[in-house]
Structure 1
Amino acid sequence: MICREQVEAFVMVKQHEHGKVAGELAKWFKEEHVPEEGRREEVLRAVSNHDRGWIDLDETPFWNDAEGAPYTFIDFPVVPKLTFYTRGLDEIEADTAYGALLCSLHFERLIETSGEACPELTAYQEAEAERRSRIHRELEQSRPIGEDELYYDARLLQFSDDLSLYMALNEPGSPKSEEHPWWTEGFSGSEDFSFTSGRKISAEWQDERTLLLDPFPFTKSFEIAYSQRRVLKSAVAEKGIASAYRETPEEVCRIVLKERPE
């Protein structure tokens, strides 16, 4: 679950909903390095489904007593999270082996960044390293992976994931001074795309409905729509997080992505 706290409520977005937004962002991304026989459709499906392992977990949110807030993807207990990561990757691989390779690499980067450590995590990493090696071997026999291709597709997944998270974790319309700390210096890795000329892509709210990006990474301006729930803290106190979440209706958040004017 993705969650941001307001004075009277928790705004909650399902991980798979965020993943579908990431897939829509990747769809409109400026195409640069696209091999002659690229795997664009597989990549788009992988980006859209990279967090599908959270589908069942997010049906009923859990309460974090220590934080006085719902558990999120950031602080959810490691062992069950790894179980559902593995399940999600298995489902992705059943659809696209290359997509599973991309997503497995993506999770490995997130784990390394988090600095978490436990025996279960080590076992997960060893199993995923074997998955990636196996996929490489299998694709080498049928459709070899170009080094530049994999690097570009991994960066596309990373950026699409980051920008989708940005929209969910930042209050729409909030000033740059209140930006989530992960992105105060721009989107990490985005400087590797050739159209940025070595600059990191950054975002800034124009208003509650419009997000400005510079350099602009898409082929056109477009609107993103996704579902969220604004769960009142008073309802959580009265009924508990599971009932309060279940009884809160979904609302649609709409955001237009535009190029920042000169």
Structure 2
Amino acid sequence: MVVIVRPHQLPDGRSALFLIPQSVHAALSGDLASHWGNGDFASLVHPEVVWPAIFHHDDGWIPVDKAPPVDPDTRRPVSFLDSPAADSHAIWTRSIEGAARISPFAQYLIAEHFMMLREHSHSADSEAGRTFLAKYEELTEGYRDRWESLHPLCSEAEVKLAVGQLRFFDWFSLWLCLADRTEPHTLEVPPDDAPLRITPCEDGVMWTDPWPWTVDDMHVCVGGWLVPDRDYEDTDDVLREMTDWRRLHWRLIPKP
């Protein structure tokens, strides 16, 4: 529920788990959004709001990022991918409410993002799913109304693009974090779903074609705890192993 759980192979052949906090993954999504908008790729809509919304969209996880729960069946730290709907809703709500310090438009974008996640999940028709969606279908209109009372020139196309940009950078970051990527992959970039081809090379270098940033290259990283891949009794058992903080680095460069 709390972290990205990434399998990791140690040099001696033992298996380990790399636990990446959700808030750290979100910071990576914000880093990837920096300097965006080269060539045919659209720059961030209202970057003074959309960039911090991307960076902070998972801040609701911060209180629990530090104490990963253990799945009683697998006896491993619980991945966010297996988060029960009700737990996710409480965390998402903290993210949405916390974004008020940025802007009501940030609240709108983050709420729309989480609503889309729920609408496309298996629990969309559950009682918890329906309750969450009904609540934020109403609240999002208020967020947008407050934003547009200050920024009346925010068009429907801009709003749609801003939501798409948050979701794109969230997925780009997750794609990097969830596994050791060795095969080329194409990401679809809004607003026109333009293809962005990422080709992993050695030492964390990734060729990128076409080049979407306004700088010559992009060096990004995430941090997380490396823990043994073993049975855990409870959260305290995991916490005792969370002493080895490591970083993953990537250097994105234009394809030669």
TM range (shorter): 0.7 to 0.9
Matched with 1:252 is 247
Shift of 1:211: 1.9
Whether contact under 8 Å (2:224, 2:246) holds in the other structure is yes
Q: Give the alignment of 1:157-236 within 5 angstroms.
A: 157-171=166-180, 174-176=181-183, 186-188=186-188, 190=189, 192-193=191-192, 199-220=194-215, 221-234=217-230, 236=231
Matched residue SS, 2:17 = strand
Q: Which of 41, 47, 56 does residue 54 from structure 2 map onto? A: 47
Taking a change above 3 Å as real, the CA distance of residues 69 and 200 of structure 1, as seen in their structure-2 partners, is farther
Query: Are positions 1:85 and 2:92 aligned together?
Result: yes
Change (3 A) 1:63 1:151: same
What is the aligned-residue identity percentage? 21
Given the two structures, how large is their TM-score scaled by the length of structure 2? 0.85
> 2: distance between equivalents of 1:28 and 1:140?
26
Q: Which of 115, 121, 127 is matched with 1:108 structurally?
A: 115
Q: Letter of the aligned partner of 1:42 in structure 2?
A: V
Letter in 2 for 1:207: E
Could you list the per-position Cα deviations for residues 112-153 of structure 1 after superposition, in whole angstroms to 9, with x for gaps in the alignment?
Answer: 222323212211111111111112222332212311211221
The gaps in structure 1 that reach 5 residues or longer are none
The structure carrying a bigger helix percent of its residues is 1
In structure 1, C-alpha distance between the alignment counterparts of 2:243 and 2:187, rounded to whole Å: 33
Shift, 1:155, TM fit: 1.9
> For residue 33 of structure 2, what is the amino acid of its counterpart?
A
* Number of aligned positions between the proteins: 243
Partner of 2:7: 5
Provide the secondary structure at the position in 2 that maps to 1:187.
Answer: strand
Q: Structure 1 138/199 Cα, relative in aligned 2: closer, same or farther at 3 Å?
A: closer
TM-score, structure 1 normalization = 0.84
SS at match of 1:71: coil
